[in-house]
Structure 1
């Protein structure tokens, strides 16, 4: 009697696996695809925005003060808000300018010559992919739970897939069989799934964490002390002196971002001793008026709750290891997206054979999705319709 019960259990798990993979396949594919592309969103912007591109040089780079001064002079109508270090040697430095009303504008500066290469509005590829993948352009309180809930289903799909694949550990080097579309698609689906187990689990866990944060379990970084606002923000030699003060407080801080706030002074953020944390986990705040360090954050002193929160983004998007990990994350993200597609194909093959139907596979799959297909398409179309208003702004 044990075998029938085991078979029945596997059959139930297969129903669960097939339901998730088919009913939500359109929405799941859309979220996985945008997340995969988001790994290289900055690089895509680099390709389509000439002002972001620079030729790496052997000489010393310009100082932060020179970069800030160039950005402020290029956009005197606004207030310098944030200054970012180049992502890679072939990227320009980027400044955000607050116009006082509406979204910030972007200014791109050559990191070696401190020459402004161009200006750009708020809307770009990175902003689109980030917002559509994170919350479908909806208000975050609504959009993030919808998207993050998929992580729970991905986790269930992972477990059900392993349970229904008998002796799955033997399949890592099992080559796909040819000669039949259904067999080939199924073998590819299982093979890619096995090699992606670790990645699917990672994406599911970080996605579940985002859901936890949205539902009230977030762990914000400690607030920095308030200071008196200075106008305009320090640039040129004044900023360089301020940075020298910050470097004495944390000599190992690799500054990746400078925020010119109106309530907490100038905040320098980046990477230091703590590994696998966002830049904001390591920071030094300096009061421009007194040149005194008013606060400091060290990623090594975070609580376990805070450390998990700061690890989520680097792990989810693979940014912690530079270009190498981003390539790896992109490839496995593409594999996950392909599994969402092949899962639907497998279902259409299976149903066509059972019904001996002459309908196309696409029509069979769409019919199998039922109302969930319309819901998924509606969410995707809604996100695209909301895009102009959600990411529009300064020109």
Structure 2
């Protein structure tokens, strides 16, 4: 259930499993068990970094390509120049996604930082089961949070969901590139006494690296500047996400053009002509062999399974 944070007006209801959740879990672990899925997805970050390094070697004097105007003589020149232009402007994005993705892989296999959430309830009743705070206790916690952590802009309030659970106020303060949980004030849900306080600036280097991964990977690092900055960084990541997707498409298309020269010059019953867009894609897929069909099948199975698990919740 959704309510306006200041007026308390009821804004409507929603389901936990929605389209946003569907795309998130598909992207994060392909709907597979977490360790297996995250390992598969994160392993491709190594491929991204390898592509980045090799592209700088293949594209000689790439630093001169930022302002190079694409040539429009014919389709191979046109798509090749556009591919290189978008590629050099996307180098920073490849670095960010590649490094953070590799960090997720390392975290899954032993490099995870220790939890920064160290608050526990102290009253006997709250230690035995999760206890919701009363309205008066909640108001007291809010006042104490504002007094004890004046720089904190509250973005999340987490209520107890297990025995010994606390009420945690989380958000952004002066520390940059940290998740909301890095800045927190936590309270016993019954007595409203402060049990834990943490400023993102006080985290260890290991924790700061861990906290920086999500804002950098998701593109929400602009949220420390308010809603406008948060939206701007998300739009930036959205655009460069489209650019990288476009590079995959144009790269495959150019591969089809290149290998299609010989195939198209000797047409036969089993070799499609490469003088049409459809023929170019057929040539590219044919030359890639089982690798192309394996990954296409994997994507179809993943989306199909995800849709299957999604539909019952919609009904």
TM-score, structure 1 as length reference: 0.69
The reply on whether 1:317 has 2:211 as its aligned counterpart is no
2:54 alignment counterpart: 160
Q: Which runs of 5+ in 1 are unaligned?
A: 1-106
The reply on whether 1:369 has 2:277 as its aligned counterpart is no
Q: Tell whether the 8 Å contact from 1:282 to 1:298 is kept in structure 2 after alignment.
A: yes
* Separation in structure 2 between the aligned mates of residue 235 and residue 336 of structure 1, nearest angstrom: 50
Shift of 1:271: 0.8
Q: Pairwise mapping of residues 263-302 of structure 1 onto structure 2 (< 5 A)? A: 263-302=164-203
* Separation in structure 2 between the aligned mates of residue 392 and residue 110 of structure 1, nearest angstrom: 29
Shift of 1:226: 2.5
Q: Deviations over 1:298-354 (max 9, x none)?
A: 211111111111001111121111111111111111111110110000100001113
1:103 alignment counterpart: none
1:181 alignment counterpart: 75
Q: Tell whether the 8 Å contact from 1:282 to 1:299 is kept in structure 2 after alignment.
A: yes
- Of the structure 1 ranges 360-369 and 385-394, higher mean CA displacement relative to structure 2 is found in 385-394
Q: Deviations over 1:196-251 (max 9, x none)?
A: 11111111111111111111111133342322256651254431222112222212
* Separation in structure 2 between the aligned mates of residue 236 and residue 312 of structure 1, nearest angstrom: 36
* Separation in structure 2 between the aligned mates of residue 157 and residue 292 of structure 1, nearest angstrom: 53
1:149 alignment counterpart: 43
Q: Deviations over 1:235-293 (max 9, x none)?
A: 54431222112222212211111111132310111111211100111111100222211
Q: Tell whether the 8 Å contact from 1:122 to 1:391 is kept in structure 2 after alignment.
A: no
Q: Which runs of 5+ in 2 are unaligned?
A: 223-229, 268-272
2:140 alignment counterpart: 241
Which of 348, 353, 367 is equivalent to 2:261?
A: 353
Q: Tell whether the 8 Å contact from 2:138 to 2:192 is kept in structure 1 after alignment.
A: no
Q: Deviations over 1:145-200 (max 9, x none)?
A: 11111111111111111101122122211111112111111111001101111111
Q: Tell whether the 8 Å contact from 1:154 to 1:204 is kept in structure 2 after alignment.
A: yes
* Separation in structure 2 between the aligned mates of residue 393 and residue 260 of structure 1, nearest angstrom: 25
Q: Tell whether the 8 Å contact from 2:39 to 2:105 is kept in structure 1 after alignment.
A: yes
Which of 370, 378, 384 is equivalent to 2:297?
A: 378
Number of aligned residues:
289
* Separation in structure 1 between the aligned mates of residue 42 and residue 11 of structure 2, nearest angstrom: 38
The alpha-carbon distance between structure 1 residues 325 and 123, as it changes in their structure 2 partners (threshold 3 A), is: same
* Separation in structure 2 between the aligned mates of residue 394 and residue 249 of structure 1, nearest angstrom: 44
Q: Tell whether the 8 Å contact from 2:35 to 2:108 is kept in structure 1 after alignment.
A: yes
1:52 alignment counterpart: none
Q: Tell whether the 8 Å contact from 1:264 to 1:285 is kept in structure 2 after alignment.
A: no
Q: Tell whether the 8 Å contact from 1:352 to 1:361 is kept in structure 2 after alignment.
A: yes
Shift of 1:372: 1.5
Aligned to 1:258, the other structure's residue is in SS state strand
The alpha-carbon distance between structure 1 residues 248 and 112, as it changes in their structure 2 partners (threshold 3 A), is: closer
* Larger RCO, structure (CA 8 Å, separation 6 or more): 1
Aligned to 1:382, the other structure's residue is in SS state helix
The CA RMSD measured in Å over matched residues stands at: 2.0
1:28 alignment counterpart: none
Aligned to 2:133, the other structure's residue is in SS state coil
